[in-house]
Chain A
């Protein structure tokens, strides 16, 4: 193993070891646990920064281990991997800070933070996976490590959500596995390569390749919450707020979307996928999901449920961008992978703050909350505007590139989808903002809990403010070399120029 092999392994170990040590800690050693958590997250962020810089300079990081004859466990840090790795590492830090404040005084924290770290390890692993086999290992590990987080509260509702979650994700995993093994039988050990690896196969196999594509996308679509496979996502929002934040921003739904990106660009190759006529159906499914999610979000009174349906809709922007043939659409999809994460995590942090501080769970209870919690609602507002796509926020950049990409690839109808979705986004976010800022408070808050001198605990307030600032920053400074947009350009360049 060369020197470049250690970095990806260390990136995984920084959260895996943290998690395992935390499992062994007694419930009462709170300070040690928090320090370990933060130390692990900071070390990971440091390692990832080094790796990011290296990849930017064209360095190779690869760890390979032969697991079965003909099947390798392969970690490789390429530009696409770094997109999700960096996002997860950064958001893990913020979510950890948030979770420490959020869970203060509640039971089973060792268990919670242990699985939380495992969950991040799984996300990192599937981002760094260099072939479908390795991707699948971490994909299933993610399922198993998020289940305890979803059912964490132990209520009947939480357990029911956990059951549904497992039912969906394990079924999806089984379908995905069959697709992967089938492909393995046809093409051998398929590694992720720029431009895809399957174009040179015998044309007689194209029929089988189409079926495999459908299996792979269906398996991944469960986690990416493509309609009609999205049923678990709105139910799983019974989980504690930091879990929802992580699930909706980087972990589970992103795993599905990221897998779809990998399959389309680096297994099949975008040109080959276009030759097989696979892109149009994918675009249609993504469009339906975008519209359906937004429509359902309109009618939800439960704030977290509204956000969950909004996730269903927003994650499919990534899939939509993937299915638009041409570099600009690709950039739109890839950059949204990051943008959606930052915006959605902000929204869930804020929803958690409202619930923890004032016990507000419903949109109808939010009248006048802007005056009681101005900072939280400012962060919420920025993220919501970002989701709608108001310039110069993150979401605007995504939609701009998606729209241009649609025109370039000759799918003009996608523009209509984008416009309709934007209107719907506005229709379900603006009433919330209006109620919070402009309506007078009606009666006392459901249950107020004082948390220090600020509007809520500093642990809870800081993370959404930072991520909201990021939402602005990635839009304002999109032209800088370190922005997600530039990074998406680098990846796209490598995908199309073979």
Chain B
């Protein structure tokens, strides 16, 4: 390996991942948008470098641990990073950087920038901290901070609709973290520790364990907008400014899903039973079908994309039943995480390009977007690439995810999930082609277009290329994911 890579892999990146976004947020808050716009690219660039460095370390040396300030658990804060952490951090950093480029053009001479930059700094910092945390209480703190930053971002748009959406989001987020906190309290009462590593294997089947599982799962399911608890998501994601929608839909819901994943396969693992996993999967299936159906009904472009998130979240939850049998468990785990990753890139690209399309057309009504293909050829191409990944067609990250999930379903003989996934794929094609077909329609008589800044389409295009690339470099990504993974090596 080259000396540069050696140098990158030798540094301790974990403190940078936590500190840099938070310092940036404080500076942006104190000194305003002008300074933030100047600082943000190097800051987020550094973030991507740090995430890459950590990923390299994990790949070479295995899971990394870091005691903050030299104080280990149980007194101090101990941080932990394995392959899954590294991938989530990379995803956050890469999408964050693209959104930054986009937002600099999008919020130019816009009063909302004043609030946008500090909140984004907090948001990214909170997410990084969440991915690195290894004890239940720190996870709660980061989850709460993340929720508040996200609500603040939704409230950036003026108008009563945005405010109502933000308020609803706030209530959902608070309810979710409250339920989670109750679970944490019960665990602490029973076992006297909150460090995940020390808790492993302690939770035994019984009423207490089931209550803990129910509370925490419900709380996190609300935050991930699992069917039927998605009520807060479409207005919040569809109504926010485009870069905010991208951050929320691509990244924020993944954080609570990540936490759920960790809990189910580490803390809850001894106490989980089959019906519980099947039930979660059933809700996932409901999300896929019902979310797609609602997406088909939408007239507004951004609302369609938001309901598509409701549907796509469903696939994530198919992981739980699919991973509950030994044959196929690893494929299910890989597939679920891969879906989270590729959905993040595809959905961020889609929301960003939707913002550019709305900017160009001056409205977001799907049926009046005819001719958008001539105005924004690269834009519609980006939308198409992102759609390919969301539909699970090759070559894309979405396809790899679908392949792995289907493989798990076949290996464990759970054919009913196969039907759900096939139907879900077709439904997603149905609603996404409602937008894509507009590219082939003639421009309406009364339409007037203006040219969006090049960066709006450009950054979205890059993200859609990553979604595509995840389908081509799956081998490397999956190798990283295997480091420290629960099923690695269990099944061939």
User: Do chains A and B interact in one complex?
Assistant: yes
- A163-B431 Cα distance, complex, nearest whole Å: 11
- A167-B418 Cα distance, complex, nearest whole Å: 18
Q: Is the CB of A151 within 8 A of B407?
A: no
Produce 1/0 per residue, B389-414, CB < 8 A to A. 00101110000101110110011000
Binds A, one of B12-20, B69-77, B436-444: B436-444
Identify which of residues 469-486 in chain B touch chain A, using a CB-to-CB cut-off of 8 Å. 471-472, 474-475, 478-479
**Residues of chain A with a CB closer than 8 A to B391's CB:** 170
Q: With A69-B475, A152-B440 in contact, is A178–B406 under 8 Å at CB?
A: yes
Q: Is the CB of B406 within 8 A of A177?
A: yes
Q: With A171-B426, A174-B425, A185-B407 in contact, is A163–B394 under 8 Å at CB?
A: no
**Residues of chain B with a CB closer than 8 A to A9's CB:** none
CB distance from A109 to the nearest CB of B (A): 13
- Chain B, interface residues (CB within 8 Å), range: 20 to 34
Look across to chain A and name the residue whose beta carbon is closest to the beta carbon of B428: A170
Q: Is the CB of B440 within 8 A of A184?
A: no
Q: Is the CB of A68 within 8 A of B475?
A: yes
Q: With A67-B474, A174-B426 in contact, is A154–B411 under 8 Å at CB?
A: no
Which of B411, B422, B440, B474 sits near A178, CB closer than 8 Å? Answer: B422
- Best-surrounded residue of B391, B407, B479 (most CB of chain A within 10 A): B407
Q: Is the CB of A140 within 8 A of B393?
A: yes
Q: How many A-B residue pairs have CB under 8 A?
A: 74
**Residues of chain B with a CB closer than 8 A to A184's CB:** 407
Q: With A68-B474, A152-B440, A163-B433 in contact, is A178–B418 under 8 Å at CB?
A: yes
**Residues of chain B with a CB closer than 8 A to A170's CB:** 391, 425-426, 429
B388 at the interface (CB under 8 A from A): yes
- A154-B436 Cα distance, complex, nearest whole Å: 12
- A218-B426 Cα distance, complex, nearest whole Å: 17
Q: Is the CB of B478 within 8 A of A181?
A: no
Produce 1/0 per residue, B456-492, CB < 8 A to A. 0000000000000001101100110000000000000
- A478-B209 Cα distance, complex, nearest whole Å: 77
A66 at the interface (CB under 8 A from B): yes
- Best-surrounded residue of B394, B404, B407 (most CB of chain A within 10 A): B394
Q: Is the CB of A67 within 8 A of B475?
A: yes
**Residues of chain B with a CB closer than 8 A to A154's CB:** 440-442
Q: Is the CB of A181 within 8 A of B440?
A: no
> How many chain A residues touch B (Cβ–Cβ < 8 Å)?
35
Q: Is the CB of A67 within 8 A of B406?
A: no
Which of A23, A68, A143, A178 sits near B478, CB closer than 8 Å? Answer: A68
CB distance from B59 to the nearest CB of A (A): 15
A136 at the interface (CB under 8 A from B): yes
- A178-B419 Cα distance, complex, nearest whole Å: 10
Q: Is the CB of B410 within 8 A of A68?
A: no
Q: Is the CB of A166 within 8 A of B433?
A: yes
**Residues of chain A with a CB closer than 8 A to B403's CB:** 68, 71, 177, 181
Look across to chain B and name the residue whose beta carbon is closest to the beta carbon of A134: B394
CB distance from A135 to the nearest CB of B (A): 11
Which of A111, A137, A174, A181 sits near B410, CB closer than 8 Å? Answer: A181
CB distance from A327 to the nearest CB of B (A): 35
Q: Is the CB of A174 within 8 A of B441?
A: no
A400 at the interface (CB under 8 A from B): no
CB distance from A178 to the nearest CB of B (A): 6
Contacts from A to B (Cβ < 8 Å): 23, 66-69, 71, 108, 111, 136-137, 140-141, 143-144, 148, 151-152, 154, 158-159, 162-163, 166-167, 170-171, 173-175, 177-178, 181-182, 184-185
Q: List 27 A-B contacts (CB under 8 A).
A: A23-B377, A66-B475, A67-B474, A67-B475, A68-B404, A69-B475, A69-B478, A71-B403, A137-B394, A140-B393, A141-B395, A151-B437, A152-B440, A154-B442, A159-B440, A162-B437, A162-B440, A163-B433, A170-B426, A170-B429, A175-B422, A177-B406, A178-B410, A182-B410, A184-B407, A185-B410, A185-B411
Q: What 8 new A-B contacts, CB under 8 Å, besides A166-B429, A181-B406, A181-B410?
A: A136-B394, A140-B394, A141-B394, A154-B440, A154-B441, A159-B441, A174-B422, A177-B406
